[in-house]
A and B are shown apart, each in its own frame.
Chain A
């Protein structure tokens, strides 16, 4: 069924590519008579996206995009959510209580089009493939703008290397511009900058493993993404920090060799922190890790483990957990 869908879309492609060179032409086709001065143009992971006016009907894919809009007070613009990573944090739960989930996984292109959104905002770039929600060009040719959390850009020339708080705040500012709520964005950035500034990095010189998932082959936070940013902020040295990637497949032998002082466990409904603790305690090798023997775990919710509006609170929370850790006679 999907093939039938994608063929006509693909046939439109050349037209789109030609039109894409001249943004004003596309603007004249837009039904919402645009105010040329208000148009916001962004370079998003290398794709130029023009917003003639603030989007009104947004499909959010992944939790980071949903939470960003809620945090900016834009919950009424969300017509549907998809592929959410977990429950909303307490302070956003009320604002997001009425959101409708379109799909537990990646939505298909047809499910996306059926919602008639004017923007699809995703926390993962891989959402925008013909096999998933549709290629960005396809969607854009149908009048649907696309936006990826810039921290999740994968192409080397667009991926933040390495991610800083400025990158995180820049997304808030950019989304504020797109939705024409720059004041709310500025306020949120200031709030988060204060939250970061208040964190006192741990000074005990501790090393950490950011354990996301995996059993035989652990999948861990590496050197240039959100895990690294948060670990650095709270004063922990990432044992996988020399791998130039956001997350990476790692090996238990490398973990055992580094023997981290603490382990950050990513908690999700499908792979809970408790499951990981049980696994670490039951394996004859990892059971001997210092952090496992002493039970030195920090827990971060999956939805907060990816860069976005929850990164700051995740860092503050981990910092508190870390300060509460009693290292005994270390």
Chain B
């Protein structure tokens, strides 16, 4: 088998579990482990917060909403658990999973290990779309505007990167920097133009990423996008594997390269748009998690896609729990936490790339 070795050279270093990479055992085993970890994380995170509510009361309150027993809490304290903490944690899980998935797909389609919705400008574009709706009153639904912004940013980034020649990773990232700077500047302009008094503070969430406003409708949007777009993406692992060998090889394997690439990139823009519309632009989840998982699973997408999604969910649940409880009763935008954790990993990736080249 020469193909997997080729894949390795394209996508990264040999994996820790190289021998059993891609085997059903690894996928099921690690997957089950991560699922349990995610469930445990949600159950633990929901007991953490500024309000002093006993662990058993938190769980009994949730059980009551699920039809088991009666909540021991007053309506107000019950609301803290059921209307503030739980929807926020579930939104974090959905956003984390979705961003990690989008990162994996974009990295494969652009054969660029530095691709992710944040670095290529999709998140900034989506934020701009969202801010336009919120502040300028553009009459479309928030997620639709965010999708339009993400898609426009994606097209602009790829067009810009290709305008100078081949779509190299460095050029793509530079184009992403240009596009996200522009989208960020226009977002700031809109904020500057419309924000009065101290209302600019509310808008920081779009730029830095925050889940503080996530209630059940946010769960519906982020969870819905994950189910509608994310689950189908799990099924395209073989196509993504084919892309790893290059467009020519993918075409030889029977993949209609251009159509598939744009369909899948459009899907990631759709997913990113929906996620950003509830969370603002949260950086580094789409970049860092796929790489971390790849160290364990290797580059095969059949394992990488679901495991990256699960790890992304666990990661963002804890990042947001840190954001809302580290400086209790103040809150940090969660994007600050992911950037503090993610930027050093990004730096490591850059160093590794230099070693290899």
Contact = CB atoms under 8 A, between A and B. Distances in A.
A214 interface: yes
A285 B50 CA distance: 15
Interface string A272-292: 000000000001110011100
B197 A213 contact: yes
28 contacts: A104-B196, A212-B198, A213-B198, A213-B202, A214-B201, A215-B213, A216-B212, A217-B205, A243-B330, A248-B330, A250-B329, A252-B84, A253-B49, A253-B51, A253-B80, A253-B329, A254-B50, A256-B76, A256-B77, A257-B51, A257-B53, A257-B80, A259-B76, A270-B197, A284-B79, A285-B79, A285-B84, A288-B76
A270 to B, nearest CB: 4
A251 B330 contact: yes
B84 A213 contact: no
Interface residues of B, number: 29
A30 interface: no
Contact of A243 (B84, B85, B196, B329): B329
Given A250-B330, A256-B79, A256-B80, A213 B205 contact: no
A41 interface: no
B245 to A, nearest CB: 45
B76 A285 contact: yes
Interface string A243-270: 1000011111110110100000000111
A317 interface: no
B80 A285 contact: yes
A129 interface: no
B79 to A, nearest CB: 4
Name A's interface SS.
loop
Interface in A290-321: 290, 302
Interface string B55-94: 0000000000000000000011101100111000000000
A214 B210 CA distance: 13
Interface of A: 85, 104, 212-217, 219, 240, 243, 248-254, 256-257, 259, 268-271, 283-285, 288-290, 302
A64 to B, nearest CB: 13
Nearest to A292: B76
Nearest to B211: A216
A296 B49 CA distance: 26
B50 A251 contact: yes
A207 to B, nearest CB: 14
Contacts of A269: 196
B81 to A, nearest CB: 10
B331 A285 contact: no
A288 B73 CA distance: 13
Given A254-B328, A269-B196, A284 B51 contact: no
Interface of B: 49-53, 75-77, 79-80, 83-85, 196-199, 201-202, 205, 210, 212-213, 215, 324, 328-331
B50 A253 contact: yes
Contacts of A268: 196-197
B120 to A, nearest CB: 26
Contacts of A243: 329-330
Contacts of B49: 253
B80 A249 contact: no
A290 B79 CA distance: 13
